[in-house]
Chain A
Amino acid sequence: MTQPPSTDHFAELDQIIHVPARLRLMTQLYVVESADATLLVNTTGLTWGNLATHMRKLEESGYVTIKKGYQGRKPHTVIALSAKGRQAFDTYRATMQAALDQLPNSRS
């Protein structure tokens, strides 16, 4: 009888990033230097409320930096991935890749 594949790598996944909404946000921020909140709402499909909640979580983890300012008279929030966030995302990708690689190719 063959041993079931190990799921250790899945347990190692960064649970801050692993939430789908935050994974989408981190992916969007990974490919740019910075983006404002409107663009992130448009590209991820999140609501403003969801974006605020997830951004708070990412900011608390030190993965993003949030700069609040004004564009004209309107509030303008610019978000960027921090060095720690970029490193965490690279690690997440490598761990996920390793976790997927250890799965068998088919059920047989």
Chain B
Amino acid sequence: MSDFKEIERKTFRAARDDGLLDVMMAAFVSMFALAPLWSEALGDFWSSAVFGPIWFAGYLVVRYLRTHVVTPRLGTLEPGIPRQQRLKRAGIVMTVVLMIAYVVGVVVAQGFGSDWFDLGELVYPITLGSTAPIVFSLTGYSLSVWRYYPYGVLVAIAPLIGEWLWQNDLAAHHGYPVAFGSVAVIMLTAGIARLLTIIRDHPLPANPQAI
């Protein structure tokens, strides 16, 4: 039975592991790198909020690439029932974890400056350190893509490394631009490398679907 699981994993990855999710993840992580740089010009709110339309544009590009570049080369599938259940379970757990992180973030942000709840600069490390490994691991588990696990670890330790760089006067803005920027570049590089490998190894069929 385990052999069938391995065949299923390979088949699923053959259709779905296209590197585009890595690109979207890199776009998400880049917010933590760029927002501190833009905050002086745009303010705290808009330096993050501006990523809404940027992500949406990125999503449209990714969707176009998936439809016009990846799918004609890799093909598509409807996963088996066990995989569908796994995706559903992971989605539910991920939603709950993100909602908890969101609520904690809002509560902590509202407590800024107060005597009773001044976590201040620990908000990002705590939230990301606990959320990122779970979310990235769930993604890796549900899609059977191993490289998402180290992504979670990288995102979790990035604020700690950034903080260390900042405290040693090696980087500005708590080191976030350097630390998260590096993680985003790693994700982007891996994603684009995967995408280019697909384009190289899977030329468009001359007479597609001709059966």
Contacts and interface: CB of A to CB of B under 8 A. Distances in A.
A34 B76 CA distance: 9
Given A31-B7, A32-B11, A74 B209 contact: yes
B205 interface: yes
Interface stretch (B67-75, B119-127, B136-144, B171-179): B67-75
A75 B72 CA distance: 11
B211 A39 contact: no
Given A48-B205, A52-B211, A75-B209, A39 B75 contact: yes
Nearest to B5: A31
Contacts of A43: 10-11, 14
B209 A32 contact: no
Interface in B1-51: 4, 7-8, 10-12, 14-15
Interface string A13-31: 0000000000000011011
A37 B15 CA distance: 12
Contacts, number: 83
A66 to B, nearest CB: 8
B209 A37 contact: yes
A35 B202 CA distance: 17
Contacts of B210: 48, 52, 75
B80 A40 contact: no
A33 B72 contact: no
Nearest to A93: B4
Interface in B76-128: 76-81, 84
Given A33-B81, A43-B14, A75-B208, A38 B74 contact: yes
B80 A35 contact: no
A33 B80 contact: yes
A20 B71 CA distance: 27
A96 B66 CA distance: 40
Contact of B11 (A35, A48, A66): A35
Question: Which of A38, A48, A52 counts the most chain B CB atoms within 10 A?
Answer: A38
A43 B77 CA distance: 12
A91 B64 CA distance: 43
B207 interface: yes
Nearest to A38: B75
20 contacts: A32-B11, A32-B80, A33-B78, A33-B79, A33-B80, A35-B75, A35-B77, A37-B209, A37-B211, A38-B74, A38-B75, A38-B76, A38-B208, A39-B15, A40-B75, A41-B205, A42-B14, A48-B210, A51-B211, A55-B211
